[in-house]
Structure 1
């Protein structure tokens, strides 16, 4: 079944067809990406979000390396610096849902969301450098800067998923990876060239850098029409028997591993299906373990007697592998299936927490870096998998809101991964904290095993 039409608002006199499958889902085909983007390839909607994500990654992934200098310069306690990061995580994650709601109702364009996010992120870094009172820093960097980074993050992730509905695993993973390894240069800056004599200038400079990069990327952002599907891929042939060769045939085979959602679920329908709440709980637990590792790995390395090079290198390793791992598992999830890959990643994250603790007890620097490698891999790779799994289960039309709900689990995990993690370390020491983190991750893997695509009828081979 199909029907033809023209969309004068989003395209320029471009003919399209709306194909309806047996489940009632609509696919809009006929418009090429170059027609919609002004003779530009949709690959641009991978590279630009990737660059913007690298720019904002310094806010989270390099913060742990800067907290020592910040504490000394401002007179903050360790608990103060961890609560600043916790509020940042809370606001960064909590922004995804309201931003998605505004975007899907046409009240906030992707370009405007990026511009606003860039300005707020700049203000956050200025506040971190110039506000001595911890509550002012929490408001400036944690609240204002967190909202800014959240706007950029949510917009970038949803953008790439809309433009690549048939291969979103690898593309989403690639973009999401920039949010981790983009911080690598700043991790070493904060460990070697960041002290009480220059910290204000460095933070101001970083804020200006983020503003320029994100705003430049935002200028080209544009969403595809609702229900858009690439014309070269037949959406009705997803059972492993592609209708043609070449790229479209490969895409059909990959779609058989991760078939598209049976229909477009509204946020209320996604919640009532039971799968979105289960995904939310899994994000809460897994992200909490990831944030714990980011917040405490450098301090734990120094606590057991490793020098600043090992401490910085362990965080650098975590950052790089965290980002590269996101791209790798996104690609693997297209081949293995999203859920299977997600369970594997969360189990690796849990085992890595036990390994980091073991390596610290042995005072083995190389073993410590190895398990930091695994922790970084697991601690970042689950994010793009949830980002791709959400439209796989609930469709693309309401993905900004649906993924905003799923990702909002991070705002809860930010509290026990950072601030409450600090309390656990104070009460139980690093041994108890790392054992608890590993156990929580394994519980999350068990929850993830219960996920299944809502409404999908079982297919016979």
Structure 2
């Protein structure tokens, strides 16, 4: 069994097409992307006892909101801890564990619904499922970067686009299953959890069984590595633990955190925001369509911007995110004041495309700065920025809005200050991105001969600078 999960077992043979790897990654990311659609369960979960209407002992929305929050927190924590393990054992075992955790999390949550024990939902979907999210998120990324050294941005965009689009499958699937199983004694959530846990486990296992890694030293036929003159793309590697000792890691952490903070805060309030800013002009149904459109741009932006970064450069791509994004946020209050719904929607769609693009471009940025050898583990540790932003963004939007309304500001104008603050957040991100420089040679590794296939870590010896 140990050999089945080993790196030697999944190392591709000569002639293997690298284009068979992205479907393996997508089979995982399209599953775990369901997390963005968990909110469709919230309202039915408030009626588990009352069925037709909430009963006295039913859960409140505020209680249920912690399920998603826990999942995102443990996504970041498990990615940070499991990233180094991924580099040692390879993607197959990591994806297998992710499938067990994510599918098993649904099943444990189903037991929590059956017994009406909220702590089982917290533990099941929030903690165990969140661990599956984190391991599943980072598992294919470093593999794709190694298969596509000539198109790092496009490669990561293909996988992470799946995470952005997972809700487009998960939401209608969940609604259909709940409608199918609902009855006079059930809202259908428990049964939907059981089925979805099984479906996602099988799909993620397909990814785990079909994933392959390139042989050590493999390069695409006819590809010439970038010239050394491009200082922002290193030809060296930085050990995962050494990366934490560099200022570049913390600057990139801030770059991701600030970009995500600006986007995720308004994403969670998008439906309410457009209805309040254009009261009477936008119906709830139209607001739902607006949210769906933002999801499309979130997903499409992940592939478009990461692919574009192969030509623009990763640093320049983030400059676009921060400069254009700050301008768009500053323009939004004006759109509400003049009542221009169409332009408001266009501005937000562009913002969401860059929000998604920030997620998919960061792994390639890390590979450029730290090398590809440990990019999966470094990426996992950097995802703690997502967990931080997942709390910081909504808190900024929600509390500032409540404060504004409490001061007598009309709901339609309660988001104006928030938009300007988000523009300022992106300006800060611009400064952090500006400060990023190539990693000093003292952090580079020098490899002796080592066996890439058995997962052994190369021995770190003297640095390039010491040799000189």
Above 0.5 in TM-score? yes
Counterpart of 2:152 in structure 1 is 168
Residue 279 in structure 1 maps to residue 263 in structure 2? no
Counterpart of 1:123 in structure 2 is 104
**CA 1:422–1:374 in structure 2 vs 1: closer, same or farther (change >3 Å)?**
same
Q: Is this contact kept in 2: 1:64–1:296, CA < 8 A?
A: no
Q: Is this contact kept in 2: 1:114–1:215, CA < 8 A?
A: yes
Structure 2: 5+ residue stretches without partners: 1-5, 49-53, 406-413, 442-468
1:426 to partner: Cα distance: 3.4
Greater alpha carbon shift after TM alignment, 67-76 vs 151-160: 67-76
**CA 1:353–1:137 in structure 2 vs 1: closer, same or farther (change >3 Å)?**
farther
Q: How many residues are matched?
A: 407
Counterpart of 1:454 in structure 2 is 439
Counterpart of 2:427 in structure 1 is 442
Residue 201 in structure 1 maps to residue 215 in structure 2? no
Q: Is this contact kept in 2: 1:82–1:422, CA < 8 A?
A: no
Residue 63 in structure 1 maps to residue 38 in structure 2? yes
Q: Is this contact kept in 2: 1:359–1:368, CA < 8 A?
A: yes
Q: Distance in 2 between matches of 1:66 and 1:296?
A: 17
Structure 1: 5+ residue stretches without partners: 1-8, 13-32, 240-255, 457-461
1:68 to partner: Cα distance: 4.1
- Could you report, residue by residue, the CA deviation over 1:119-164 in whole angstroms, capped at 9, with x for unpaired residues? 2212333455544554443322221111101111100212211211
**CA 1:80–1:214 in structure 2 vs 1: closer, same or farther (change >3 Å)?**
same
Residue 345 in structure 1 maps to residue 325 in structure 2? no
Q: Distance in 2 between matches of 1:225 and 1:268?
A: 24
Give 1:377-392 correspondences, 5 Å limit: 377-392=353-368
**CA 1:58–1:447 in structure 2 vs 1: closer, same or farther (change >3 Å)?**
same
- Could you report, residue by residue, the CA deviation over 1:184-241 in whole angstroms, capped at 9, with x for unpaired residues? 2444567898678333333433333222211111101133345543353233x626xx
Greater alpha carbon shift after TM alignment, 348-357 vs 44-53: 348-357
Q: Given the alignment, which residue of 269, 273, 290 partners 2:263?
A: 290
Partner SS, residue 210 of structure 2:
coil
**CA 1:85–1:10 in structure 2 vs 1: closer, same or farther (change >3 Å)?**
closer
Residue 222 in structure 1 maps to residue 212 in structure 2? yes
- Could you report, residue by residue, the CA deviation over 1:30-75 in whole angstroms, capped at 9, with x for unpaired residues? xxx9x82464311111222123212221112x23455444456574
Q: Is this contact kept in 1: 2:363–2:375, CA < 8 A?
A: no
Counterpart of 1:265 in structure 2 is 238
Partner SS, residue 40 of structure 1:
coil
1:116 to partner: Cα distance: 1.7
Q: Is this contact kept in 1: 2:29–2:137, CA < 8 A?
A: yes
Counterpart of 1:97 in structure 2 is 80
Q: Is this contact kept in 2: 1:117–1:147, CA < 8 A?
A: yes
Partner SS, residue 17 of structure 2:
coil
Partner SS, residue 219 of structure 1:
helix
Q: Distance in 1 between matches of 2:397 and 2:61?
A: 12
Partner SS, residue 36 of structure 1:
coil
- Could you report, residue by residue, the CA deviation over 1:383-419 in whole angstroms, capped at 9, with x for unpaired residues? 1211101011111111122212222211221222345
**CA 1:116–1:309 in structure 2 vs 1: closer, same or farther (change >3 Å)?**
same
Give 1:128-139 correspondences, 5 Å limit: 128=109, 130-131=112-113, 132-139=116-123
Give 1:45-444 correspondences, 5 Å limit: 45-60=21-36, 62-71=37-46, 75-106=58-89, 109-128=90-109, 130-131=112-113, 132-187=116-171, 197-235=187-225, 238=227, 260-304=233-277, 305=279, 306-354=282-330, 358-359=334-335, 364-418=340-394, 421-428=397-404, 430-431=414-415, 432-444=417-429
1:377 to partner: Cα distance: 0.4
**CA 1:359–1:141 in structure 2 vs 1: closer, same or farther (change >3 Å)?**
farther
Question: TM (normalized to structure 2)?
Answer: 0.77
How large is the Cα RMSD of the aligned pairs?
3.2
- Could you report, residue by residue, the CA deviation over 1:369-389 in whole angstroms, capped at 9, with x for unpaired residues? 323312320211011211101
Q: Is this contact kept in 2: 1:128–1:140, CA < 8 A?
A: yes
Question: TM (normalized to structure 1)?
Answer: 0.78
**CA 1:172–1:155 in structure 2 vs 1: closer, same or farther (change >3 Å)?**
same
Q: Distance in 1 between matches of 2:332 and 2:59?
A: 28
